[in-house]
Structure 1
């Protein structure tokens, strides 16, 4: 995810696609899109419905972005090479008409820019190929017993205490512990990872503040220095962890640079752990609000695979994915010019009735094979950690369903203020 640039205020508001008869006007629909409002963050779906009804693309002046709300458009643009996560493989900042990142944002800028999620071809293919030699399906499979053991310990502790904050007690520590296990981070240091991740991902929100930038820079410095020490130690004494595998990964004479390894490790923590944490809490919130669906899972654990995919679709933790327009793109008669930024609305795409039957219904029996949600992206930037996220979610929900029936919501949760990565402040449960 690329941090959004502050609005320049110089871009004109182009015409959006005409709305069909009886649909809200583009201006009325866009006015409902209020990503800084708590009420919108808590329930963005009525606004998404209005955006879809009003057209296929809408200019949003407050962030100088084009909003794309339909599933098929989002899916196609994720694969369209006329768009990119960066433009620096083709243009300078000046040529593209965008300001260079402020020097004081280093080392965040380099840390983020060298990660696979923000690389384009040919650099992306090279790094992903090398990382894939280390982060293999076999490595994920080998983690399964550890993931299930950690889930059982965390759920068991929460249950023994009669409840508490499911987010702090289970949803957060499980993926952090798994990533730490993969990287070979000693248990005594694992408490550092979540604060670093939270500070860095704060820059992925719309128009982040300078205070957010300062926190991200500090976390980038500390996390990078920590990982460089681990890399140095693993070069001297290789183990079976992912860092050792990244050091050893090669394709002919090509290997990952130290910066590429650092950026890869940070991306695996940030992207993988944020998705798992928020899908866990939002999934449980959906189950509490749909007790008939919870009963279905309790009676038939075999539905869990379908259920996890439905949780990812119904309330995706990543609501928006941004990309730069490298060459003019036409969407339904509207030309989105080179130099623009599009905001692909995953949350809206996953509720598009043209793709999903009865999309606002939470249905854990919706077959996973036909559940074409976009929560893990698509195209070359499809989430490399998706299999690990699915493993963690299945272990967590499966353990709760098997060992802790009767769990219920203790009080209505509060939402975090962020919109792009959307989640709860806490999820208090009891028995």
Structure 2
């Protein structure tokens, strides 16, 4: 069984997933304390089965993690029907007011400006880090614009997000957990002030629409739910976009024929976005807890037990994807599970696709001869798969 802290596994987990899939679709993982699904069919079943759900267990001791627990107790991601149904209807209703289309030209302009800055450093004779110059700041700016966060405050968001998302890894030291709580408490306090401002002075941003959105019975999101929604959008949106761009551009640099296809044919951008999400998934594991006894691919999950869908393993299943280890920017259809499935399908998927597509478009236009300046450094985490840096030259 794979060790999620083994550097060799973290560098390339896919051979281990292939070996497990060849033996069976679901396996017990003693180290993670749960079963793991490795086939596309089994992972899809885990994500869709209504007997499996997200059951949040408060971080303990509870009195020391008040902000972290508040965010997750009130999160769309960590809830199940009927609460999830109400939250998703309200949040989707606010999103449906045209925010993605409103932001489309702004995101394209932002991506172009950030890539121009990257290119200028490269053209001056230096290498430049794609994550620092483009992939990191772009999704933070986009989410901040979506939420209506004032410009001077936007630098606060990425450090808060980076600290909180580390809670999704396993075997954390106490100082990492404590840093996550400090970040969560600061973020909660900031958002309460922003929400109060938008109640007094509504704008064209998503927070204003979330404040105003009502359900069919007149119900609204509570303030805690508003706060949790804004935090979820930042954390999920930032981590997904930055790591798809980082992992994806690395894959393209190592598969020059596919990079060249994209340079020569911008019409491939939509399928390229989906393929980069599939090829090296930014989210490798998504867990569920059984509410009743559930059987997944012959494996019985008893009430209270957990099972995880290994999304990176599902994305390399040869029963679903032809030559799954091959990067193909024209791949279609592409039934990856990178945005989840079922009732927890990512509500921000259209925005993530917009950000990734705009970044790839700007990169291929402005830096068609881009190449790796050095072997990139990978982050030492398994669940959220990404790079520490990605230096490019030309």
Q: Does 1:265 align with 2:234?
A: no
Specify whether residues 137 and 396 from structure 1 end up closer, same or farther in structure 2 by C-alpha distance, changes over 3 A only. farther
- The answer for unaligned runs of 5 or more in structure 2 is none
- Contact 2:72 / 2:228 at 8 angstroms: preserved in 1? yes
Match of 2:37 among 58, 68, 72: 68
Q: CA shift at 1:105, angstroms?
A: 1.9
Q: Give the aligned partner of residue 158 of structure 2.
A: 194
Match of 1:219 among 157, 169, 183: 183
Q: Give the aligned partner of residue 4 of structure 1.
A: none
SS at match of 1:208: coil
Q: Give the aligned partner of residue 57 of structure 1.
A: 26
Q: Give the aligned partner of residue 26 of structure 1.
A: none
Specify whether residues 348 and 101 from structure 1 end up closer, same or farther in structure 2 by C-alpha distance, changes over 3 A only. farther
Q: Give the aligned partner of residue 394 of structure 1.
A: 357
Specify whether residues 77 and 137 from structure 1 end up closer, same or farther in structure 2 by C-alpha distance, changes over 3 A only. farther
Partner Cα separation in structure 2 for residue 346 and residue 101 of structure 1? 31
Q: CA shift at 1:208, angstroms?
A: 2.6
Partner Cα separation in structure 2 for residue 164 and residue 243 of structure 1? 35
Q: CA shift at 1:100, angstroms?
A: 6.5
Partner Cα separation in structure 2 for residue 161 and residue 379 of structure 1? 44
Q: Give the aligned partner of residue 112 of structure 1.
A: 72
Matches within 5 A, 1:132-143: 132-136=92-96, 138-143=98-103
Q: Give the aligned partner of residue 87 of structure 2.
A: 127
Q: Does 1:403 align with 2:363?
A: no
Matches within 5 A, 1:266-281: 266-281=231-246
User: TM-score normalized by structure 2?
Assistant: 0.96
Q: Give the aligned partner of residue 15 of structure 2.
A: 46
- Contact 2:141 / 2:154 at 8 angstroms: preserved in 1? yes
1:186-211 per-position Cα deviation (integer Å, ceiling 9, x unaligned): 11111110000010000001233322
Match of 2:260 among 277, 295, 298: 295
Q: CA RMSD in A?
A: 1.4
Q: Give the aligned partner of residue 336 of structure 2.
A: 373
Matches within 5 A, 1:352-367: 352-367=317-332
Identify which range, 191-200 or 136-145, moves more after superposition: 136-145
User: TM-score normalized by structure 1?
Assistant: 0.88
- The answer for unaligned runs of 5 or more in structure 1 is 1-29, 94-98
Partner Cα separation in structure 2 for residue 137 and residue 164 of structure 1? 38
Match of 2:289 among 311, 324, 336: 324
- Size of the aligned set, in residue pairs, is 389
Partner Cα separation in structure 1 for residue 292 and residue 4 of structure 2? 27
1:334-384 per-position Cα deviation (integer Å, ceiling 9, x unaligned): 3221111111100000000111111111111212xx100000000000000
SS at match of 1:243: helix
Partner Cα separation in structure 2 for residue 104 and residue 156 of structure 1? 44
- Contact 2:129 / 2:390 at 8 angstroms: preserved in 1? yes
Partner Cα separation in structure 1 for residue 243 and residue 151 of structure 2? 23
Matches within 5 A, 1:297-312: 297-312=262-277
1:62-112 per-position Cα deviation (integer Å, ceiling 9, x unaligned): 221101101011111211111111178xxxx9xxxxx97643222101212
SS at match of 2:388: coil
Partner Cα separation in structure 1 for residue 60 and residue 260 of structure 2? 53
Q: Does 1:236 align with 2:200?
A: yes
Specify whether residues 332 and 256 from structure 1 end up closer, same or farther in structure 2 by C-alpha distance, changes over 3 A only. closer
Specify whether residues 409 and 235 from structure 1 end up closer, same or farther in structure 2 by C-alpha distance, changes over 3 A only. same
Partner Cα separation in structure 1 for residue 337 and residue 8 of structure 2? 24
Q: CA shift at 1:222, angstroms?
A: 0.1
Specify whether residues 87 and 395 from structure 1 end up closer, same or farther in structure 2 by C-alpha distance, changes over 3 A only. closer
SS at match of 2:304: coil
